[in-house]
Amino acid sequence: MHSFCICNNPVLPASKIYCFSPFILHKLETVLSIRNISKRYGKIQAVDDLNLEVMKGQVFGLLGPNGSGKTTTLSVILELIRPGSGDFQWFGQPPSKASRKRIGSVIESPNFFPYLSPVNNLKIVADIKDLGYDDIGRVLNLTGLYERRNSRFRTFSFGMKQRLAVASALLGNPDILILDEPTNGLDPQGIAHIRELILLIAQQGITIIIASHLLDEIQKVCTHVAVLSKGKKLFDGEVSEVLAISDSYELSAENPAALSESIKAFPGYRSATVAGEKILVYFNSEVNPGELNRFLFAQGVILTHLAERKRSLEQHFLELLRDNA
């Protein structure tokens, strides 16, 4: 049996991709669509003709060094600032009061009344959002703060303050959670707590958009990533696709000299370095290890060692920055 997808069908809403199979009908909804957004501050081009799509259920990372345009992008889509050009849509529609109610965000450092407890601080947030108080217990449980619900905010560690900020953003059970550098300034334990919290929230079906300059954290929690540099998008796609790319192999053979010479004729060969008794070979594209082994065997080179080296997100990130410097 076969399945098929219909995209951009004029009969169906443009913000959805419908997938059909003999047994199941499901849809992937575009929750955020950014189209040609630019923003300039004087001589500084903070965001430069940015296009992005975030689908429902994704944990989407905006990755880039300081000054790459991450916070500006988040500020635009949260309507804190206006773009110089371009536009964006939430849930297939222009931004509106209704769409804003479906979004929770933590953009700045946690800012609550220091002499009040988490419960009373969250009551104030609920009043601002025109919500009842019945959701406060749930978000405190979810963020691991329920046992400290009656402690004063000023007694909290920075990591606990950050978790309370996330709890406030989760009041009303939003469809989207936006976090700007959520682990900034945290110690390793605090970073681990926020990472676990993000994964837990994602399991609830909430779409999450995270801006960060920490590659390791993006790699550990995100399903998708967009790399920004000087306001430009250099790459966007699935994190798993980046991590699956193999562009280098560690090889050794009974005759190292013959291996070093023969490997140069393999399609896509880029360079090689000697590391002890092994040779680390780099290619311009992904290589099938079976084809590599058969090619060398046909040249009379019998491998005694073949190990695939998958690139990390950090390697891919640094390559993108280098190539677009």
Q: What is the pLDDT of residues 150-175, one digit of tens each?
A: 999 999 999 999 999 999 999 999 99
> Does the pLDDT of residue 206 top 50, yes or no?
yes
* Residue 147: DSSP 8-state: G
Q: What are phi and psi of 320, to 5 degrees?
A: -65, -45
Q: Residue 115 — very low, low, confident or very high, per pLDDT cuts 50/70/90?
A: very high
Mean pLDDT computed over 144-151: 95
pLDDT value, residue 218 = 86
Residue range 32-242, CATH number: 3.40.50.300
> Does the pLDDT of residue 9 top 80, yes or no?
no
pLDDT averaged over every residue in the chain: 85
> Does the pLDDT of residue 14 top 50, yes or no?
no
> Does the pLDDT of residue 243 top 70, yes or no?
no
> Does the pLDDT of residue 226 top 50, yes or no?
yes
Domain ranges of the chain: 32-242, 246-323
CA distance 241 to 239: 5
Q: Residue 214 — very low, low, confident or very high, per pLDDT cuts 50/70/90?
A: confident
Is 32-242's fold the same as 246-323's? no
pLDDT value, residue 1 = 38
CATH fold, domain 246-323, is Alpha-Beta Plaits (3.30.70)
> Does the pLDDT of residue 308 top 60, yes or no?
yes
* 212-215, long-range: CB < 8 A, 24+ apart: 212/61, 212/62, 212/63, 212/70, 212/181, 212/182, 212/183, 213/63, 213/64, 213/65, 213/66, 213/68, 213/70, 213/181, 214/183, 215/63, 215/312, 215/313, 215/314, 215/317
CA distance 101 to 116: 25
Q: b/e for 128-149, b at 16 or more Cβ within 10 A?
A: eeebeeebbeebbebbebbebe
> Does the pLDDT of residue 21 top 70, yes or no?
no
